[in-house]
Each structure stands twice: as structure tokens, then as C-alpha cells.
Chain A
Amino acid sequence: MPSLSERASRTGQFLWSGWSGLAGLSVFAAFWQVAHEAYGSFILPSPLETLAAAWALLGEASAWQLLLTTSSRALSGFALAGVIGTMTGCLAGFHPAILRLVQPQITLMLGVPPIAWIVLLMIWFGTGSATVTTTAAVACLPIVFLGAAEGIASRDRLLDDMALSLGMGRVRRLVRITVPQMLNRLFPILVMALGTAFKAAVMAELLANAGGIGEALAVSRSNLDVANALAWILLSVSALLAVEYGLIQPTRSELEAWRHAARPWGVKR
């Protein structure tokens, strides 16, 4: 375990890096403002108007309820895909024959348009949470599977031999040598999968009329209320960012302190 001071300095650097994130967002907001001034409030409300609308939404308890609904659906879909994808991916990584059999099915899953999944799932599960969660899971399952399989298949076998020469048993080798290597590969992919799960969940809600942010977006569209629609988009992105920077990134930096050590100074801060 890294020492307390080391962890504190890492946390400090992490929070400090928020400034650069804010700077990037400001550039984005500037372009947004330019487009707003060119096209007017009806087509594209200004960033400040959108923020005000989002702020107003946050004042309502029902908005929080909707955010929570969508987030929990996206997260349970993500968790489902994470568990199934990682387990089957590891299995396939260890056995090339299984990987070869499963690969075409993954291509198939990636090739089916998400919209088609939603139609099928609506028929099977009706228009409720189950459809939304499953859509999110189906959307991120293939990439998690491939990430885990890659992580296992591309492991450094020389390290395995080294552990064997020290007399480590099969289970200890798996836990101490193979799984950490797999996680190194898997983490960036989990970040991607989480974003995909949120997008798929919102889309499924919109199309299936299943409540949550998606339905709120549908309502804004029918009212031609662009500011409100943008505010909802802003809120769903914020929910995603909150999960990513509150949950995934801290876990990742805990597991990958060594990668941080390898970075040159200018990249670190």
C-alpha cells in the first residue's frame, strides 16, 4: 500500500487537474456561445441559459428522481455487462479455441444496431426498467468481453514462468500475476463501457417511453423546448462524469500507481 502522504499528494494532484478540465470546458462553452449568437436562442440557447435551466431542474425533487432512475438503470446494465463480460472474457482469454468460437458472435452483437435491440427487448420485456437495463448491458458487453479476453491473452507469460520457478501455486499465480495484468487492459475499456451504458440507457428510455432522462427529453422535444433538452443532456453528462470521476478513476489510480510513477513530470501535472 502506498503511504498516506503519497496518497494525499495524488489526491491533491487529481483535484488540481480539475482546473485543466475546467479550462477545456470553457473553450467548448466559448464555441457554443459563438454558435448561439449566430443562430439565436430558439435553435441553440446560450450556455448560461442552459445552465440556468439545469439549475432550475435541480431545484425540483422529481428531476433528481429521474436522474437517479436513469443512473441506476445504466449502472446496473454496466455492472451486468462488467461481470458477465469479464468472466467470459477471462475464460476465452485462457482458451484460444473458445475465443475463436465466440469472436463471430461478438462481431454479430456489435453489428446489430442498438435500435434493433431496443425493439426486440421491448417485445420481450415490455417498456420498463428491464428493457433499459438490458439495452445498456447489451451495448457494453462486447467491448468488456474483448477487453478482458485481450488482457488475459496478451499477458506476459515470462512472468508466469518466473512465478512458477518461485514455487507459486496455480491460484496464487492467477491472483498475483495474471489478474493484475488483465485489469491493466480492462480499466480504460470499462471507462468507455460506462459512457456507452449511459448513452444506451437514455436512448432506450426515449424510444420505449420508459421514464428517466430519456422520457424527459421526449417531453422537451414535443414542447420544442431546446433549453430544457440541453439542460437534460447536461445533467446526464454530469451524472456520467460523477460516476466516472467518483468511482472508476479513483479505483484505477489506486491500482495503477506504478503507471503514474512512469509518467514524465510534464504529463503528471
Chain B
Amino acid sequence: MSALTLNDIGHAFLGRTVLDRVTLDIGEGELVALVGPSGCGKSTLLHIAAGLVEPRHGRINRTYVRHAVVFQEPRLLPWATARKNIGMALPERLSVRDRHDRILSAAAAAALEGEDLDKYPVQLSGGMKQRTAIARALASEADFLFFDEPFTALDPALRRHMQDIVIGHVGSGKRGGLFITHDMAEAVRIAHRVVALDRRGNGISGKRHISLMPGERDERMVFETVQHFMKQDPLFRHVEELDERRAG
């Protein structure tokens, strides 16, 4: 049973085709990492899948109830405290008590402390802002999460911490998810399956299952898998290349 099915998706900006014949299937409780060189249309594909952009053609089939997106930037409301930012994902009809409890549990899931909840985004560090954004996505009780390169701007130690939060709350039969990244180590660490988008947006060029469950893999295994992918697997040859269309 799949949670999200993208069927023959195509899109163009001002007549220039950016995506063509993309078909992707994500199962329930499965976390799929989508990799590809920058500029290949990964973000556009995610925006289409999340319903923020209308595709030019193709069909999207969603069997989950709600989804939420964690964007590259935290996208918090500057005039609202962290608590209110998380709370805005909750339905309006909740009682004050329920609202409070759900905000607290979402914040705890994203490793945010209670005292930070009453701060405004300007008073939070970059990592805390992004954690607030994750808490907001978790609070919405979405059963499918989209991640659009959310940890690119964070330093390595913080990034690993955030990846652990994702591993703990997405996938493993809980929620399904689509995670976009161009960091192979990140993809190998958190996903059940890594899918590569063609460097010209011309469909999915291939996929690789990764053994063990996310969270059970040790550093050595992640490192060796990444080395293997980057050095010997032709599928990932272009992942770290620069944007070819813009350069050419």
C-alpha cells in the first residue's frame, strides 16, 4: 500500500521543461531520500508533491490524511513566539489544554526546551529555529512529511542531531516521508531507500535500497555505503555536480 504516488509528473517554467516523466512511489511509513545535482528540479518536484505547485501534467495520488513540509528555511512567523508558531499547525477547534499538551509534546519530540517556547524567532539560534519548524510539522499530526533540504544551513554536529530527530519520528512504520538532500551521507543515514533524479529532470534515473533500518546503521556502514555509491555506482555520478543548465 503506497502513501504517495507520483505518476508521470512533468513541469515547465516559462516554456522550459524542468521535470518530465517522473514516476515515484512511496510506501506507508517509508522514508525516501531524493538526491540529484542542484538545479535538477528536486525542490520543484517536492512542491508539486506537496500541492504548492500545480504540475503541467501527471497525476498525484495521496492515501495519507495530512501532510506537512519542513522547508530549507525555518519560515517562522517573526511576530509569534515559538509556542504560537508550533501551535499554528494545530486545528482551531482544540481546547486550550489539548493545544498546550500537543505543543509541548511536539516541542519535546524536536528537542526544544520549555523555556525556549516563549521566545520569538529572533531570539532563537539557527538550529532552534529549524527545530521549531520541525516541531510545527510534527504538531500538525501529519502522517506524511516533506523535507526540502532542511539542514543544509546547519553545522555538521547539529545536522546529525536533527537527522536523529527525523529518524526517530519519521519512517519506521510511523509516518511516511520524502526527504530531499544533496548530501549523500545524510540520505544514507536516514532513508530506507535512496532515489536519484535525473540531472536534467528527465525522470527518476534509479533507486537503491539500503540495508538495515535507519537508526540501526553505524557510522562505519554509512561511510562505506557512501564511498561505494560515490566511487563505483554510476547512478550517483552526477549528484555532486554543479547546476549544468545554468552553467551551460
- A: residues with CB less than 8 A from B are 158-159, 161-167, 172, 176-177, 180, 184, 255-259, 261-262
Contacts and interface: CB of A to CB of B under 8 A. Distances in A.
A255 B121 CA distance: 15
Contacts of B51: 164-165
B132 interface: no
A165 B79 contact: no
A261 B120 contact: yes
Interface in B50-109: 50-52, 66-69, 71, 73, 75, 77-81, 88-89, 92
Given A158-B71, A167-B66, A258 B140 contact: no
A176 B78 CA distance: 12
B217 interface: no
A159 B89 contact: no
B88 A176 contact: yes
Using C-beta atoms within 8 Å of the partner chain, give the interface range for chain B.
Answer: 20 to 34
Nearest to A176: B88
B231 to A, nearest CB: 37
Interface string B121-151: 1110000000000001000100000100000
B140 A166 contact: yes
A167 B140 CA distance: 10
B119 interface: yes
A11 B89 CA distance: 32
B89 A258 contact: no
Nearest to A166: B89
Contacts of A257: 79, 120
Contacts of A163: 88
Contacts of A180: 77, 79
Nearest to B52: A161
Given A162-B71, A166-B68, A176-B88, A261 B52 contact: no
Nearest to B136: A166
B80 A258 contact: yes
15 contacts: A158-B75, A159-B75, A162-B69, A162-B71, A162-B75, A165-B67, A165-B69, A165-B146, A166-B140, A167-B66, A255-B79, A257-B120, A258-B120, A258-B121, A262-B122
A220 to B, nearest CB: 46
B116 to A, nearest CB: 13
B58 to A, nearest CB: 19
A158 B52 contact: no
A48 B113 CA distance: 57
A255 B75 CA distance: 20
A258 B73 CA distance: 19
A261 B81 CA distance: 10
Given A165-B68, A166-B89, A261 B119 contact: yes
Contact of B122 (A161, A164, A167, A258): A258
A167 B88 CA distance: 11
Contacts of A258: 78-81, 120-122
Nearest to B50: A165
Contacts of A255: 79
Given A158-B73, A159-B75, A258-B78, A165 B122 contact: no
A3 to B, nearest CB: 8
Contacts of A161: 47, 52, 71, 75
A262 B50 contact: no
